[in-house]
Amino acid sequence: MAEPGDIVTIKTQEESIQGMLMPEEKDFAVIKLDTGYNIGIAKKRIKEIQVLHKKKDKKPVTLTIAPQQQLPTISILHTGGTIASKVDYETGGVIARFTPEEITTMFPELKEIANINSRLVSNMWSQDLRFSHYNTLIKEIEKEIKKDVQGIIITHGTDTLHYTSAALAFTVQNSPIPIILVGSQRSSDRGSTDGALNLLCAARFITQTSFAGIAVCMHENTGDENCTILPATKCRKMHTSRRDAFQPINTIPWARVIYPEKKIEFLRTDYQRKHTNKPNITFFKEDLKIAILKQHTNMNSEQYEFYENYDGLVIETTGLGNLPTSEIDEHTKEHSKIFKTLQKLAKKMPVVLAPQTIYGMLNLNVYENQRKLQEIGILGHLSDTTPETTFIKLAWLLSNHDKEETKELMRKNIAGEISERIEQNTFLWHK
C-alpha cells in the first residue's frame, strides 16, 4: 500500500511517472518530481501504483538557541505558512515551522542578524482574510511594540499582501519601529523560492537603519541578491508568479537591500525615523460592506444598483476617470439610467473612483461628463491611489468617521496613499 513519502511509479495507459507520493487530493494522486514540481494524475487514469522505496520515519529534532545580548530582537508574526514551511521529503508533507528555534534552523543566517521572537497569529490563505483578521493582527502588533523590540516582520501570502500593508498603514500610524511585511512567490520546496531572501533582507533592513513605519520587502528582480523596501500604500502585486511581482506604483521604493554586501541603499529620504512615542492604533468595523466594481463596456444600471445596500463603493474607472453616463444615441439610453443610479448611490454612501490603469492620476475636470460626476458627489478627483488601497482607505475611514467626514478625508493624503505629483521615472519603475 503506497503512502505519502514513498517513492513510487504511477502507471497509466499512456505513461509511467516516477516521484515521491504526496498527500492525495479528492480526485487526483499527486507526486513530486525530481525537478521539485508537483504533478496531479486523475485517479480514474491510474492503472497501477508501484512502490519503489518506502518512506523512513523521522524523529523531530528540537534545538535550544540562547539569545545573544549584543544583537537586537526582532519579532516575526506569521499569518500564513508558505514562507515558514518546508517539505519533509521523507513524508511528502509540507510542515509549517513557527517557533524561534525552528525559524532560526530554517534560516540560519538570522542568528547573525538578530535574536528572533517568532509565533503564529493565524495560518490561512491570504485570499480568506477579512476585516476581523486585520483587527487580530493589529492587536498582536500592539503587543509586540510594547515589548520594545527593534522591529516586526509579518509573513503573509502574496495575493492580498498589498491590501494588508495598506490596512496596517492606516491603522498603525506613527509606529515607533519598522513593521515589514514579507511573502514568498515560490513555495519553499522549489529551488527558486524567494522567501528566504525576502525574510533575511527585511531583518537586515530593520537592524541596520533608522526607518520606522509600515513597508513591504520583496525581490527587486528575478535574481537572488537584492530586495526593495516598498511603500505600504503604494505597491502592488503585478505578476502572478515572478519573484519581482511586487512593484511600487506612482513612486519609487524607500530603499534597496543588497544582501551579499550587507548594504542598505536608500532611494528616498522622506521616511519616518524610529522614535519612542506611542503609535496611533485604530481598528476596522468588521461588519462593513465595501465593494470594488470594475468598469467595462456594455454596462447596465443594475450592475451599480446591486450595491445600494452597501456602506461604500469603489469604482475602478477607465482613463482619467470616465464612467458610461452619456446618452449619445439610441444605443446608449442605458447610460442615463446609470447616471441616475450613481446619483442615488452617492447620496447614500461614499462612491470613490480609482484608476483602472493603476499608474497615473485621475482628473475629473477634463470632460463635461466627469464634472457632472463631481456635481453629484462622486469622489476621486486628483487621486492616484490604487484600487486596493482606495478600498482599504474607504473601509478604514468609515470604521472611524461618519459618512460626511469620510468624504472629506478621502481627498486628503493620510498614509502616503496620494501623491502631490507623479515623477516621470515612477512609471514601470526600473532600478
Tell me which residues are annotated as active site. 82, 158-159, 237
Alpha-carbon distance of 154 to 198, in angstroms, equals: 11
Largest CA distance in the chain: 77
- Give me 232's grid cell: 505600504
What is the distance, to the nearest Å, from the Cα of residue 311 to the centroid of all Cα atoms in its chain?
24
| CA angle (371 as vertex; 369, 374 as ends), nearest 5 | 115
Q: Residue 239: how many CA atoms within 13 Å on its side-chain side? A: 16
Contact criterion met (CB below 8 Å) for 75 and 33: no
Edge-to-edge order in the sheet of strand 28-32: 38-42, 28-32, 16-21, 7-12, 46-53
Contact criterion met (CB below 8 Å) for 338 and 325: yes
Contact criterion met (CB below 8 Å) for 177 and 148: no
Contact criterion met (CB below 8 Å) for 162 and 388: yes
Write the CB contacts of 78 (distance below 8 Å, at least 6 apart in sequence): 84, 96, 98, 118, 119, 120, 121, 122, 123, 154, 155
CA distances from 258 to 136, 180, 198, 313 (A): 33, 17, 11, 41
Alpha-carbon distance of 139 to 119, in angstroms, equals: 14
- Give me 174's grid cell: 506613527
Residue appearing with cell numbers 513597508: 215
Alpha-carbon distance of 294 to 316, in angstroms, equals: 5
| CA angle (369 as vertex; 363, 371 as ends), nearest 5 | 55
- Give me 425's grid cell: 521615472
Closest to 113 in 3D by CA, of 64, 156, 151: 151
H or E stretch including 42? Answer: strand 38-42
From start to end of 332-413, where are the E strands? 351-355
Helix axes 161-171, 131-146, angle to 10 degrees: 60
Closest to 254 in 3D by CA, of 287, 288, 277, 227: 227
